[in-house]
Amino acid sequence: MTVGGIPFEALLVFVLIAVALTLFVTEVIPNDTTAIGVIVALAATGPIIGLTPRDAISGFSSTATVTIVAMYMLSAGIQNTGIVQRLGVYLAEFTQGEEGRALAATVVTTGPIAGFINNTPVVAVFIPMISDLAEKSNVSPSKLLLPLSYAAILGGTLTLIGTSTNILASDLARQFVPGRGAIGMFEFTRLGVVILAVGVVYLLTVGRRLTPARIPVGVDLVEEFDLEDRLVQVQVSDESPVVGLTVDELDERIEASVDVLQLRRDGETYAAPYTDQRIEAGDVLIVHGTLQAVNRFRDRHELRQLLREGVTEDTFDDAPTDNILAKAVVPEDSAYVGETLAETRLEAFHQTTVLAVRRGGDLIRENLEDVALEGGDLLLVRLPPESIDYFAESGDLVVADERAYERLAEADAEEVAPLSSKTPLAIGIMAGVVGAAALNLLSIVIAALAGVFAMVVTGCLSPSDAYDAVSWNIIFLLAGVIPLGLAMETTGGAALIAEMLVATEAFLPLLAVLLLFVLVTGLLSNVITPVATIVLMIPIAVDAAGRLGADPFAFLLAVMFASATSFMTPVGYQTNLMVYGPGGYKFTDFLPVGGPLQLLLAVVTTVGVATMWGLT
């Protein structure tokens, strides 16, 4: 049965893809939940489209999925060594406060590292360091954070394990390219080096001029989040009824919209409400709340507002044992995503108070307890050093202000970024994984699993840290979209789309057809996830290459590189989303900087594939 010349089963798959893409773009529900829905839909329509229930869940048993799980764990083992943090300290010494050096150090260092360690944790570690680097270099952090993300993306093209799309492309090559096995560890590195070099040159020249400076140099956090009228100092009078109470007892008597954050007395500072000090006449309280709520609190408890003494970031930073102000990013795979701030229990469990939330161009300062967190949210938090340490380990929040980390240790590199005693062992294990896969002694999936086993049994990585390191939302997304690509191939949907694209050969040379595939893939990866893009585009590209008499592997490689390089939107790649808030960027900032880079690399990729592998 056909509808308009399209087989009904293929049309059914197209409808499912259209619904999935709409949900991916709008994010009405989380992308991993959409992927689970895709699995259910494929299983339900299996008798019509020719898929078995086993096919519908085949993404969970895919070699690519298992490999990516293992690589997340291996990256965590390397991150635990402290070597990346130590490198950040050395970068600060190298830049010597010069903007050009700071930018060069950022992109030249991040790219190669991201070729061997998952680029998401690399960016998470580097965000606070780059923020501090910007301050010391007297440059807006906005000028460095976007290049940081782009360099990490570029570095992912260097090796098979550089990014999840490479691993997925390797598995798809084995499935769809006749007579072809998995892609080798360094099989495409020569083109990856060219892409990284071109990208770095662009970021240091044209990109440097196009990247906006959204955050002023040295801006105070209170001013940045527009809290000047919501953080006030009040002094306790002799007649005040709060005299003799602890701050905790006072909190029970005031409305929920007012928080006492600090108690100051005779040069001493106490974090509230965690101190057992009893309030005395003359004490100064730092209070957070709306102007109206603070005024009611002040009048009701006979307090006097100190008009001449505004609250600044330094107000919190001037006591070594006090909680401090810092910015924190919510990663896309954080356990807090989808929870309201009340549900996260940050205050109760980690003594972390959220004072404001910046989401894109919106600044949320009221009714914060009811705000459901989203990936990429930037929080202004008041927290103690031990909570910073906890979040650095858990990854649920990325504290994006290196000044907060400096409270944990002195400036000496060995104290700020101590290396683990397991560092040589962990690096040796990772080198063994890369070497075994590169020399074809073991397949990449077995080598990666062997590396995880070695790190756990040698104590480089605990089992709990290994499981926590995996971005399970990405894994479920993979498991959902992999069978979607299989359904396109089985029903003939990929062949239909390939046939339409092949028709362009009538007026375009083969090289231009390949460029068209690269451009379409790049555009899709900026709108939906790169993982979903590569699963949808590789079957089409391979089929089209067969119809054109071209090399299917060359077309597959072009799609692989194009899907791994998403620069034009903050939602196209997770690292873009991670720097979105700390950089103070607007959604539209990514297109002027990333658009020319995307187009430039599309040409470089097309010419590079044609030159190095040939088209026929």
Domain segments of the chain as ranges = 70-217+421-469, 229-310, 324-406
Is residue 360 pLDDT above 70, yes or no? yes
Give 407's pLDDT tier (boundaries 50, 70, 90): very low
∠ CA 394-355-265, rounded to 5°:
105
Preceding peptide of 30 cis, ω within 30° = no
Q: Return the pLDDT at 408.
A: 43
Check if the beta carbon of residue 43 is closer than 8 Å to that of residue 392.
Answer: no
pLDDT at 186: 93
- Report the CATH fold assignment for 324-406: Alpha-Beta Plaits (3.30.70)
Q: Is the pLDDT of residue 386 over 70?
A: yes
Q: What is the pLDDT of residue 608?
A: 96
What was the pLDDT predicted at 417?
A: 56
Could you give the CA distance from residue 414 to residue 410 in angstroms, rounded to a whole number? 9
Q: Look at residues 609, 588, 591 and name the one whose alpha carbon lies nearest to residue 599.
A: 591
Nearest to 408 by CA among 315, 344, 326, 336: 326
Bridge partner list, 379: 328, 357
Tell me what percent of the residues of the chain surpass a pLDDT of 70. 91
Split at pLDDT 50, 70, 90, the class of 289 is confident
* Residue tagged 């356990």 (tokens): 335
**Among 300-309, 432-441, 462-471, the least confident range:** 300-309
Output 305 or 202, whichever has higher pLDDT.
202
Q: For the chain, how far is it from start to end, CA to CA, in angstroms?
A: 36
pLDDT of residue 127: 82
Which ranges in 80-118 belong to alpha helices (H)?
83-95, 99-114
Domain 229-310 and domain 324-406, same fold? Reply is yes
The pLDDT of residue 200 is above 90: yes
Q: Hey, which residues does 198 pair with through a beta bridge?
A: none
* Per-residue confidence (pLDDT) for residue 309, from 0 to 100: 58
Q: Which residue has the higher pLDDT, 393 or 338?
A: 338
pLDDT number for residue 166: 92
Residues whose CB falls within 8 Å of the CB of residue 344, separated by 6 or more in sequence, listed in order = 336, 373
Each residue of 305-343: pLDDT tens digit? 765 556 776 666 655 456 778 888 888 778 888 899 989
pLDDT above 50: residue 410? no
Tell me the C-alpha distance between 310 and 312, whole Å.
6
For residue range 89-103, list pLDDT tens digits in order: 676 666 666 777 778
Reported as a single tens digit per residue, the pLDDT across 532-568 is: 889 888 988 998 898 889 999 999 999 999 998 889 9
The pLDDT value given to residue 348: 83
In the beta sheet, which residues pair with residue 265? 268
Is 132 within 8 Å of 409 (Cβ atoms)?
Answer: no
pLDDT at residue 409 is higher than 60: no
Residue-wise pLDDT for 107-149, tens only, equals 888 899 888 887 777 787 778 777 777 777 788 888 989 999 9
Q: What's domain 229-310's superfamily in CATH?
A: Regulator of K+ conductance, C-terminal domain (3.30.70.1450)
* pLDDT at residue 6, as a whole number: 76
pLDDT over 70 (residue 438): yes
Helices (H), 318-419: 341-344, 346-350, 385-394, 402-406, 413-416
Instruction: Please determine, for residue 156, whether its predicted confidence score (pLDDT) is greater than 50.
Output: yes
Which tens digit of pLDDT belongs to each residue from 512-529?
A: 999 999 999 998 888 777
Q: How far is CA 108 from CA 71, 111, 156, 227, in A?
A: 23, 6, 13, 37
Residues in Cβ contact with 505 at an 8 Å cutoff, skipping those fewer than 6 apart: 513, 548
135 vs 64, more confident = 64
pLDDT tens, position by position, 443-461: 889 999 999 999 999 998 8
- pLDDT tens digits for range 205-254: 999 999 998 888 777 788 888 888 888 888 898 889 989 988 888 887 77
Nearest alpha carbon to residue 152 among 430, 567, 585: 567
Is residue 607 very low, low, confident or very high in pLDDT (cuts 50, 70, 90)?
Answer: very high
User: By percentage, how much of the chain surpasses pLDDT 90?
Assistant: 21
